[in-house]
Homo-oligomer: A and B are copies of this chain.
Amino acid sequence: MKIVALAGGVGGAKLAHGLAQILPPEDLTVIVNTGDDFEHLGMYICPDLDTVCYTLAGLANPETGWGRVNETWNTIANIEKLGGPNWFRLGDQDIATHLERTRRMKAGKSLSEITKDFCTAWGIKQTVLPMSDSPVRTIVDTDEGELAFQEYFVHRHCEPRVKGFRFDGIDVAESTVGAKEAIESAEAIVICPSNPWVSVDPILRVIKKINKPVIAVSPIIGGQTVKGPAAKMYTELGIEPSALAVAEHYRNLLIGFVLDTVDMQLSDKIKTRTLVTNTFMNTFEDRARLAADVLNFIGSL
């Protein structure tokens, strides 16, 4: 079964890794949000793309979900000593990714070409694609004014109250050729448990039209997120954070929705077929189990 997964950072990467444990590599394409990419210390940084790649390659830090395992922090510690910006935690191994990507982009390579080469170097057999080779920049409108995404997310710890989102460049951004082809040949599209507002919406807006069955996995469990500000965003936007709210978010797209057992009572209110299962992914086995549940669910629809 050929599957396209749409993913943001940590949560999306985990389910993508689960799918990768089950599907033959040629049957899985992961299209990743690039709206929170940014330039920092002269480097072009793609947090979600790197989280997905590191996770698929077995290079991710299992504690944090982001960054590299067995990482060292000598560069950032020395930048800090020089009085430079230290709010974005860059590990020494991770910096190699950003420096080499930036070098190649300046040499005229596209982000998708670079990602393909990096996946090969890291031994990733699945296809990982940025949602677009054109820059899209998520801007968070808050009670303190507009903030670039990483400024809001990392520097300000998601503290300012959210009023809305804007995706600079999204109207002219085309999805990558690979993404179009992967969707064309996919049997289903899986929206991973990523932030609907800032991880999935940009991907959906770039892809524009999906003529394939779409199922989504709720990133909200018992009104909360495992990681990240999705629940806080729903609240600040005046919507009660819940799996139901997520299902409503994607309502015109879905043929199926996956929610956690703790939210079982919401299942009846959701206007599409649902699968109620354990959606927590603490271990590698949890990821594979949820992926298997999702694939079986797709098979049943």
Best-buried of A72, A77, A99, A100 by chain B (most CB within 10 Å): A99
Contact A75 B92 (CB under 8 A): yes
The residue in chain B whose Cβ has the minimal distance to the Cβ of A43 is B42
Whether, in the assembled complex, A102 has its beta carbon less than 8 Å from a beta carbon of chain B, the answer is yes
Contact B81 A121 (CB under 8 A): yes
Q: A76 — which chain B residues lie within 8 A by C-beta? A: 96
A122→B78 CA distance, assembly (Å): 10
A216→B40 CA distance, assembly (Å): 44
Q: A238 — which chain B residues lie within 8 A by C-beta? A: none
Q: A82 — which chain B residues lie within 8 A by C-beta? A: 96-97, 100, 117-118, 121
Q: How far is the CB of A100 from chain B (nearest CB, A)?
A: 4
Whether, in the assembled complex, A239 has its beta carbon less than 8 Å from a beta carbon of chain B, the answer is no
Per assembly, the copies of the chain total: 2
Give the contacting residue for A99; candidates B75, B103, B117, B122; CB below 8 A.
Answer: B75
Whether, in the assembled complex, A74 has its beta carbon less than 8 Å from a beta carbon of chain B, the answer is yes
Whether, in the assembled complex, A264 has its beta carbon less than 8 Å from a beta carbon of chain B, the answer is no
A152→B176 CA distance, assembly (Å): 40
The residue in chain B whose Cβ has the minimal distance to the Cβ of A117 is B83
Main secondary structure of the interface of A (DSSP, over half): helix
A89→B117 CA distance, assembly (Å): 23
Q: A103 — which chain B residues lie within 8 A by C-beta? A: 41-42, 84-85
Q: A79 — which chain B residues lie within 8 A by C-beta? A: 96, 99-100
Question: Which positions 85-121 of chain A face chain B at CB distance < 8 Å?
Answer: 85, 91-93, 95-97, 99-100, 102-103, 106, 117-118, 121
Contact B83 A96 (CB under 8 A): no
Q: A77 — which chain B residues lie within 8 A by C-beta? A: 93, 96
Q: How far is the CB of A265 from chain B (nearest CB, A)?
A: 48
A43→B43 CA distance, assembly (Å): 9
Q: How far is the CB of A107 from chain B (nearest CB, A)?
A: 11
Q: A95 — which chain B residues lie within 8 A by C-beta? A: 75, 92, 95, 99
Give the contacting residue for A84; candidates B43, B84, B99; CB below 8 A.
Answer: B99
Q: A122 — which chain B residues lie within 8 A by C-beta? A: 81
A96→B90 CA distance, assembly (Å): 11
A77→B94 CA distance, assembly (Å): 11
Residue pairs across A and B with Cβ atoms less than 8 A apart, 24 shown, are A41-B100, A41-B102, A41-B103, A43-B99, A71-B74, A72-B74, A72-B92, A74-B74, A74-B91, A74-B92, A75-B92, A75-B93, A78-B93, A78-B96, A78-B97, A79-B99, A79-B100, A81-B122, A82-B100, A82-B117, A83-B100, A83-B121, A84-B99, A95-B95
Which residues of A are in contact with B by a Cβ distance under 8 Å? 41-43, 71-72, 74-79, 81-85, 91-93, 95-97, 99-100, 102-103, 106, 117-118, 121-122
Nearest 8 interchain pairs by C-beta: A78-B96, A74-B92, A84-B100, A92-B92, A79-B96, A41-B99, A75-B96, A82-B100
